[in-house]
Structure 1
Amino acid sequence: MRQVEEIRLLDLSLVEPSNQSLQQPSSSDATCLSTEGRCLHLLTENSPDLITILKVDGTFSYVSPSVESILGYKWTMLVGKNIIDYLHPQDVVLHQAEFARQIQQPEINFVGEYRFQHADGSWIYLETISRNLLDNPHIKGIITNFRDITTHKWAEEQLKESQKKYRSVMNSIKEVIFQTDANGFFIFLNPAWTEITDFTVEETLGKDFFSYIHPEDRQLNAELFQPLIERTAAHCQHIIRYLIKGGGYRWIEVVARLTLEENDNIAGISGTLSDVTERKYTELLEKDRNHVLEMITSSATLPDILAQIAQMVKRQGLGIHCNVLLLHPEDGKFYHAITSNLAYDLIQAADLIAMEPVLGAHEKENYYRKTFIVPDIVNDPRWEKYREVALTHRLRAWWSVPILSSHEEVLGTFAIYYHEPKSPTQKEQQLLETASRLAAIAIEQRRLNDQLSYQAHHDALTGLPNRILFEDRLQQALAQAQRHTQENVGVLFVDLNRFKQVNDTLGHAVGDSLLQQVGERLQHCLRHCDTVARIGGDEFTIILSELKNPQYATQIAEKLQKVIEEPFIIKGHELFITASIGISLYPDDGTTVPELLRKADAAMYQIKEESKKPQGSVTTKNKNSLYINGRISHTMLIQTTAMLVQNLGIKMSKFFKKP
């Protein structure tokens, strides 16, 4: 019971005591009362509240008639009984303590709530107001006023239970329930807010919801809310990024409606925030993966594809920096395919760790197949030599997975870096494996495309460009010459004389080797900008680009003639061959690819006709030397239509023969 002072109670001290004072007064007794006493008596007898007088031992000395309507007892049943007999067991101790205090502190009135047992066995809540009148000679007790508050108490309990259930529901809901005021400041949030963002409800209430949205999404969020604010839409629903405490973000689906005042003014916004990060990441991963596969099947470059894969990983919230090293298939060395914005010294340190061991070929292969997980660079011995570099750039974790081909060959490594210590979850490991597989597909596809392209544009026997690539390069050379009008382009048509006799005499294997060596010799005589191609059989064509002086074509032709006439050693045989060479020049002999090829081919065949002598024979001086006889080996045609040779004073459109 709480203490209250100056409570006005019915003062029964005005009632004259008699032998019947503990009983219901008779009408004859009432005549003895003063006017005020009679009024108080009438109030007591007719009050809807229960009024009692308790002796110092807690027994009832007086009980008003209303006890029957409140507790179901006749007043005579309670007089002389102790109040404790009717109190709820859990309320007895409290009553005894308060009753003792009231006896000790008579100047204070006490207010309290107790449960009393009804005659039917149920429990009734009674609110009490007590006053100590033990010193009053007429009362000699504690006068108490009881009021039935059971209905109110039940309603209160139901409200508490409802609120408890409400809190339980709010606490169990995974979605954030929110409400803002008209200015956009949070005024309500359920605990799910903390589970999603790590911000406590207490530190968030009163803050602008706009400040928790990812900076890159704030403009979008404002635009999506505009129809709601303008009342052209009943609600809005969209997905944006919300910031989380400590850095990072989560994808949140927002469903919101306006909260209106009675006058229809906007009171704020209420709705739900659902964490759809996993769903969003899955959608993004599928979208990014399909995009990468489309790039692989298109003409996208390998660096662009690998950069897209790295972006895919970062969009999943995994890592802050990505780095891809590829193993060169020819020299076995690693090179950077893509690098993040990490400093060069840090990238170099990570590379050294990935390529650290000096092992044999088999051991290296096994080493490069390993997945490296360094949760904390500070504690990892592999980073001991490079730890200072890493910490300078605030890096704490490093993961590296191998990129393996479909045949389990090492193609490279895929590495990511973190600013804080971290070990990968199962999902993150799966994501890294997905990135590694996509990178492997891209690398293998590019290599296959390169191989197919090479085969489509190169001679299978000699590795030289074929007719398709030759004509393409010739077209490029002509286009360049058109832009630089002072340049000429030379086309040489080279045919090996009596090559068929080599095949017929020594076999096709020797003939193939001879063609390969001829191709190599021709290449060694040319500049980097020139092209030599094999267009079929024993025929080779040559592009001489960027000619400042047309005479250079003649000089090259003579040089080629000489290197071809030098002996070839093939499978123990010493072979001597010659060639016929025809020349055409851009722009004098033509301005198109077909024209120049036709002119060079015609010049070559014309010199063959000019050089024809009786059929030579293939003879063998000894088992290691083969000679192809015939003067054709000493002829060469240089056709230069429209070329003036000033020292001769004539137009050379004939043939030049080497005696």
Structure 2
Amino acid sequence: MTAPRALKQDFPIMTTQTAQLSVGTQALFDRLPVGTYAVEVQPDGRLLFHYVSDRWLQMCGLARDALMADPGLALDVIHPDDRDAMLQANLVALETQQPFHWEGRLQVQERDTWVAISSNPRRLEENRTLWEGVMIDISAYKKLESDLRDSQASLQRLLEHLPIATSVVELGGEGRVLFSNAQFHRTFGYTPEEVPTVEAWFALAYPDPGHRAAVRALWYAAQQKAMAGPGQIEPMEFKIACKDGTVRDVVVSATIDEGVMIVSFQDITQQKRTQAELRLSEHKFRTLVEDAYAVIYTLNLEGEFQYLSPNLFTLLGYAPEELSGLHFANIVHPDDMAHCKAFMQRVYASNTRQGNLEYRVRHRNGEWHWHVTNASPLHDVDGQLIGMIGNAHDISERKARETRMSRQATYDELTGLLNRAAFFERLDQLASVTQAENPPSIGLMFIDLDNFKQINDTHGHAAGDRVLQILAARLQSALRSSDLCGRIGGDEFLSLLYGVSDADTATRIAVQVLQQLVEPITLGELSLLPSCSIGIALSSRHGREISELVRHADEAMYRVKQSGRNGVCLAE
């Protein structure tokens, strides 16, 4: 009891005196569910209790005799943390003679009890004041209030961490904004002080008066409908002005419950922008696909066409719907099917882009066109592989050009025979074969046209060229399909006789060739009798080195010329 004594130094000492109340009045007070009391402030500053009810004593945990003996016990039951505030409120009420109101805790038997005390001053004779008051146990109310605060705090914490802008608005009155979460302020930029009410929000979010009036009417109509019905305001889309001057597309919805409205603001600005960009991208894609000089296509996992761009008709003569659903084998050259299938499997297996597949595809008119394709894997919205998308270009002109260039690099342009470089390249390839354990025998004929310069000089180069073409064709027809023939100079030819090992066979073939070559040639009114000198060398007699065979055949051919031309000679 010592701590309260220290406090009494600044508070009048209280004494207890039984007030002269009627028996009926005292019985009435004792039956009240609240504690009642009457206390007088005496001229010397001491307090004199005129009356305390049994309920008051019960709430304070005091016996009447103990209180009468030591009125300071009334201070002892005030919670230490609340005692100073109570004393201060008492002094203010005493000085101002205004009603005294206080809420705080009593600490009785180590148990806290929340009470509310209210008393009013009544003037007595001789400048005395009597304070008549009640003390009510408000512990249940305080617990409910605490639970409500905890519930509100939990709700606020939940709303605070929502990834969507949210506000809690009081219904009725001026529509106070009770709370807005951090996402609300991040989205729109306004501080809580700038948005104290719904009307303040309307003024900021919809600066144009006409537009603001339309939005207000729409929103309040939806709010009234929700309050009369399901308690839900269905999502509505608005354009909302932000503090930084930007305008955001927002879907607003709300839930109404127990006098408040929880409003959600879903920012769909990026979604709308993405949708707009997607529409633009789709438009550009359609324009690109329709205008590009290529076929855009998609295949499913089985290799069946799912989509073909409209310019398929321009490139291949088919309408897209004619091939849709068909396997690509229906138009791809049979000889190219294997590497087309392998290409498709590489796309699916690697799940990456593959390119530069060249293949032949059939035009509607039956012609084969060369195409090159690049393709990438195609996935559905869940990331599952469903096929591939590719583009195909017609490269027929390029392939024809490459064929011409390849032929020019390999064949003599005038005669169509192998040129010198290509012929000797074939001989080198054959030489590698002759290094085998049982190499094939070969014969080599060196053919030179006799007096060919005179034909050019006398009848012109055009006639000479025509003679070369005719003799080249005769030479080609006189040889077997396994033999090679090439033009190695202006009027010089080499022929490779594959599998020939004996002199009689080689000589017989050479004589047959000579007989065909020297047949008369008619060029319009011009008739010519060609003459040829042929030298022969055999790997079985002259060695397997190509250079040696050519040298021996060349020497044999010159011996024919020295002997009068137009004949055949086997190298010595």
TM-score by length of 1: 0.39
Larger relative strand fraction: 2
TM-score by length of 2: 0.44
